[in-house]
A and B are shown apart, each in its own frame.
Chain A
Amino acid sequence: MEYYVVVLLVYLGTDLLAAWGLNLEFGVAGVANLAFIVTIAAGAYTYAVCTLGPPAAMGSFQQYVGGFTLPFPIAVAAGTLVGGVIGVLIGVTGLKRLRPDYQAVAMLVVSLMAATIVSADTGFLNGNAGLGLIPAPFSDQDPQVQRWAYVAIVAVCCVGGYLVLRRFTDGPIGRSLRAMRDDEYAAAAIGKDIVAMRLMVQAVGGAFGGLSGALLVAFIGGWSPGAWNYIETLALLTAVIVGGMGNNRGVTIGTFLIAILILQGVQFLPQSINEFRIGLREDLGWIVLGILTIVFIWTRPQGVIAEKRPRYGGSP
């Protein structure tokens, strides 16, 4: 049971980082990045190839590029950085001014394409089988200490990440990003460099995704294309939409509701459901998630907690 609490906390923390990144891109800046999961995957894979050591050293049963044995903080930092870079690359493909729904589909396709290429090229990141036996920090400690130390690390990253996040979502830049979200042309007409702002949020958002992926993979120990299905982006997007687009508190609540309550909560459904059909509990989770997204878009698109804007100076 205690182990399970640890798992939930780590998942919550990494999901928060990812959701904050996606919210910055989509809720605040209006950049519909449905390929966001790729930045998470990039962070995870980067951490993996930075800590696994050379393929040959492990008997070559996994093939991959890189293969360094860097310490945990550096590997995580590398994952964050690569996440940001991938974010920018995705951003560049999204620069063509397409209708928003076309953009969305294009981004989904980018996400699928990335997954397919990684799956197919077995030498790059071990293809469909993915990478395993990824080392976690503190492995020389007592397992319980290790687990809770890891929760502490994730918590610190979340706190730090949140402080950095607020720099981008609040203040003058937050206003300009929201202006871009609300009306891109009008924002350009008042002198905002749309291209620069878009790439900036995709770099920062991508970095958050990379950090999330790196922290997650160090905990789980393995990562494969199955882990970064395009559906995962949908889960994050639901968290952002249901929680409340554009505001960090709403997104935090949304992440808790979606990632924890629903996707993990289904584990607590009676075992009898799984006897009816294996894996039915997870399927139910996705069904509930999909329905929830549709319901919220229909009835309350602003989310559980609607965005509130600050007041300036005295009241009238």
Chain B
Amino acid sequence: MSETGPILEVRELVKTYGGVRAVNGVTFTAARGAITGLIGPNGAGKSTALNVIGGFLSPDGGRVIFDGEDVTGWPMHRLARRGLVRTFQLARVFGGLTTIENLLVAAPGHRGESAWGILAGKRYWGKQEEQLVLQAREMLRSFGMEAKADEFARNLSGGQKRAVETMRALMMRPKLLLLDEPMAGLSPSLSRQLEDLFLKLTGEGMSLLLVEHGLDTVERICGKVVVMAQGKVLSEGRMTELRTRKEVQDAYVIG
């Protein structure tokens, strides 16, 4: 896979959902190592587009090229293993597992899950497991949740569950992380912390694509921003420019 070129290329993507063409020929690219924003008024089809790219929905037309490979129509788990990871708008934690287990379960390529690994037992995967536990504890510490490590995830608060969702995605070491409204419902200070985290991650080489309504956040952290309206790409560019373009202003008033 090429190390240059955009991390994501979406070409003429089409998705019909509930009898409506929610995504109607969407084309854009997301640059490697950058944070790309996807904005637009309600009903523009942003979340649907994200769901299709992330494999949650299958496309009715068009192509998705990820890291140089055509991944159109790939199921979610295959995309995840390839490095394209999505988080959900409403945090979906595994309630019957503890917080730390929610992180451990996300670790890719655990030897304990292969057929041989299951039968061979702890001797085979024990070492890897220890390292993962250390990694998970470290991540919990950086999010301030180490005290909740052995708590059942279903007992966490809404904000804590969101944090777990984010941590879990990070445990997967994704190449491209898809985020659907990550700041929704967060206080300004938490929002800021998350923004700093995102900037730090892209500094380390990760790419992000996020759907976001908070235009201040978008302006602060996004490189390129893609504006969608009525299922199509309306405009793209940096947020500061977009604010001034008439068609973008109109879309937000009308759409």
Task: Establish whether A and B are touching in the complex (CB under 8 Å).
Answer: yes
Q: Give residues in A with beta carbon < 8 Å to B.
A: 167-168, 171-173, 175-176, 178-179, 181-183, 185-194, 246, 307, 309, 311-313, 315-316
| Chain B residue at smallest Cβ distance from A182 | B94
Residue in A183, A311, A312 whose CB lies within 8 Å of B104: A312
* Segment of B5-13, B62-70, B112-120, B247-255 engaged in the interface with chain A: B112-120
Cα(A313)–Cα(B149), bound, Å? 10
Q: Is B133 an interface residue (CB 8 A)?
A: yes
Decide if B150 touches A167 in the complex (CB within 8 Å). no
Decide if A309 touches B110 in the complex (CB within 8 Å). no
**Contacts A188-B80, A189-B80, A189-B88 given; does A173 touch B113 at CB 8 Å:** yes
Q: Which residues of chain B are near A312, meaning CB under 8 Å?
A: 100-101, 104, 133, 136-137, 149-150
Decide if B97 touches A191 in the complex (CB within 8 Å). no
Q: Is B76 an interface residue (CB 8 A)?
A: yes
| Binary flags per residue of B63-83, CB closer than 8 Å to A gives 1, else 0 | 000000000000111001100
Tell me the total A-B contact number using a CB cutoff of 8 A.
110
Q: Which among B113, B121, B129 has the highest number of chain A CB atoms within 10 Å? A: B113
**Contacts A167-B118, A167-B119, A189-B86 given; does A178 touch B77 at CB 8 Å:** no
Q: What DSSP secondary structure best describes chain A's contact surface? A: helix
Q: How many residues of B contact A (CB 8 A)?
A: 48
Cα(A193)–Cα(B115), bound, Å? 13
Q: Which residues of chain A are near B129, meaning CB under 8 Å?
A: 171-172
Residue in A168, A181, A185 whose CB lies within 8 Å of B56: A185
| Chain A residue at smallest Cβ distance from B108 | A191
Decide if B75 touches A188 in the complex (CB within 8 Å). yes
**Contacts A182-B95, A183-B94, A185-B76 given; does A176 touch B105 at CB 8 Å:** yes
Minimum CB–CB distance from B144 to chain A (whole Å) comes to 12
Query: Nearest 4 pairs between A and B by C-beta?
Result: A172-B112, A191-B80, A186-B92, A182-B94
Decide if A193 touches B77 in the complex (CB within 8 Å). yes
Q: Is B106 an interface residue (CB 8 A)?
A: yes
Decide if B92 touches A183 in the complex (CB within 8 Å). yes
| Chain B residue at smallest Cβ distance from A167 | B118
Decide if B77 touches A179 in the complex (CB within 8 Å). no
Cα(A182)–Cα(B111), bound, Å? 22
Residue in A168, A175, A246 whose CB lies within 8 Å of B105: A175
Cα(A254)–Cα(B239), bound, Å? 61
| Chain A residue at smallest Cβ distance from B56 | A185
Q: Which residues of chain A are near B75, meaning CB under 8 Å?
A: 188
Decide if A182 touches B96 in the complex (CB within 8 Å). yes
Decide if B96 touches A176 in the complex (CB within 8 Å). no
15 A-B pairs (CB sep. < 8 Å) = A171-B122, A172-B129, A173-B118, A179-B105, A181-B96, A186-B93, A187-B77, A189-B80, A190-B105, A190-B172, A191-B77, A309-B101, A312-B133, A313-B133, A316-B146
Q: Give residues in B with beta carbon < 8 Å to A.
A: 54, 56, 75-77, 80-81, 85-88, 92-98, 100-102, 104-106, 108, 110-113, 117-119, 121-122, 125, 129, 133-134, 136-137, 146-147, 149-150, 152, 168-169, 172
Minimum CB–CB distance from B88 to chain A (whole Å) comes to 7
Decide if A168 touches B118 in the complex (CB within 8 Å). yes
Given contact pairs A172-B104, A315-B150, a sample of 10 additional A-B residue pairs in the complex whose CB atoms are under 8 Å apart:
A167-B119, A171-B121, A172-B111, A185-B76, A186-B92, A186-B94, A189-B85, A190-B80, A191-B80, A191-B172
Q: Which residues of chain A are near B76, meaning CB under 8 Å?
A: 185, 188-189
Decide if B121 touches A167 in the complex (CB within 8 Å). yes
Decide if A179 touches B94 in the complex (CB within 8 Å). yes
Cα(A176)–Cα(B76), bound, Å? 16
**Contacts A190-B106, A193-B77, A311-B150 given; does A179 touch B118 at CB 8 Å:** no
Cα(A183)–Cα(B92), bound, Å? 7
Minimum CB–CB distance from B173 to chain A (whole Å) comes to 11
Minimum CB–CB distance from A183 to chain B (whole Å) comes to 5
Q: Which residues of chain A are near B147, meaning CB under 8 Å?
A: 316
Decide if A172 touches B113 in the complex (CB within 8 Å). yes
Q: Which residues of chain B are near A187, meaning CB under 8 Å?
A: 77, 94, 105
Decide if A191 touches B81 in the complex (CB within 8 Å). yes
Cα(A188)–Cα(B172), bound, Å? 13
Cα(A175)–Cα(B98), bound, Å? 10
Q: Which residues of chain A are near B105, meaning CB under 8 Å?
A: 172, 175-176, 179, 187, 190
Cα(A96)–Cα(B136), bound, Å? 35
| Chain A residue at smallest Cβ distance from B148 | A316
Q: Which among A179, A182, A189 has the highest number of chain B CB atoms within 10 Å? A: A189
Minimum CB–CB distance from B87 to chain A (whole Å) comes to 8
Cα(A179)–Cα(B101), bound, Å? 9
Cα(A168)–Cα(B77), bound, Å? 21
Cα(A181)–Cα(B105), bound, Å? 13
Q: Which residues of chain A are near B118, meaning CB under 8 Å?
A: 167-168, 171, 173
